[in-house]
Structure 1
């Protein structure tokens, strides 16, 4: 039963073969009977991998997007189109506007494709919710590059969990700590934060490495006295601290 649950595409004969390899000489028919008695359908009718299994297996090929909503001190609402690559956790802040439209969203998608350049060839899936701003023209920008468009189900934020998580991070580390004056101010703050996020901020899923870790290797602090060389550097208008060794 466990093999069938962990391998949805395996039929009773494939499971029999794996058991034989492990030294259990059992015919195919008893395997089928056990699966049938347990209510497990034949492989073609069985459910595929879970959503979590799919995201884990395809992380390197997934990019996801959503909107961050920001209220200014003058109670004006601004919208930020956020993209994040699952595999590297690299963040892209596509644009800021007070009046998002389908045409604006399409243009930001085109700009992102240009910025990704050759890297977009390694992506296969785009995940987003059912926001009407993600129009058919928006989706075509990515499908034309060979990506498959995946729309999440209604009221199911977990289907876009990584993007939801980074939006929560933006709220906690920026939105809740900085009074935003206007669109220009927000764009400047986000650009500075983007440099911090991609170049310095550690990520557990990447063994505490930032998204651009290959361009910024960790310092090898083998000497305990090396701690004296650590210096603090405030970023994002002083709300976040980075720590570096003095060169």
Structure 2
């Protein structure tokens, strides 16, 4: 009986050893199938936590913001949940959300400071005394005669608005679009920020009259030639459109506009202050 018990004990230990070796072998094979970047990121992720654990034995403290940022970046390369030891997954996800909040706070930071009150009054006076002057003319007059450099957009911001009820002297942009909506296509770029804070550009082409989505493509580095190729793929040579609307972004160069004209389309550059195409895309 004693001999049998020893035999069963040895067999149990051998079975446990076989199961352990099989588990370790499968884990090793899965690691071999992973990329070197993921393995290096996981190794550094674990080393950072080990270093923090050893430092915490000497001086009790929490993760600083720099270490949190590094761990969040490393976690984007591999499955981090099994490698997280020092904090809970809920806390770690909170760090990631805090990083997104900081990123968008930086993106939405205030722009230029407001101009002095005296200059605002001067812009209003020049606009009232010279009804035929636009914001560009007023900005040039300020630069040439007073040496004050100011953007036409800033001039438009402080120019007196048309009194309510007074008819416009020109055709509204919305009227133009409504009259020719069926033969107008519009294109624009949307920006999307990934989980790794990488900015991607989404190029969208829609039919204005029906809000039909004609084309959509994503790239990390948009160029004029890339945009031209997308337009060729979206709009066939036998199209019935007459106009194409785009904004005044530098990517829509004169060469690109010439190629659009050769496609049989008249380019309409969107006026400053006109609602963005992205609003139409979100509605559709």
What is the TM-score when the length of structure 2 is the normalising length? Answer: 0.38
What is the TM-score when the length of structure 1 is the normalising length? Answer: 0.43
More helix as a share of residues: 2
More strand as a share of residues: 1
Computing the radius of gyration over CA atoms, which structure comes out larger, 1 or 2? Answer: 2
Instruction: Tell me: higher relative CO, structure 1 or 2? Use CA pairs within 8 A at least 6 residues apart.
Output: 1
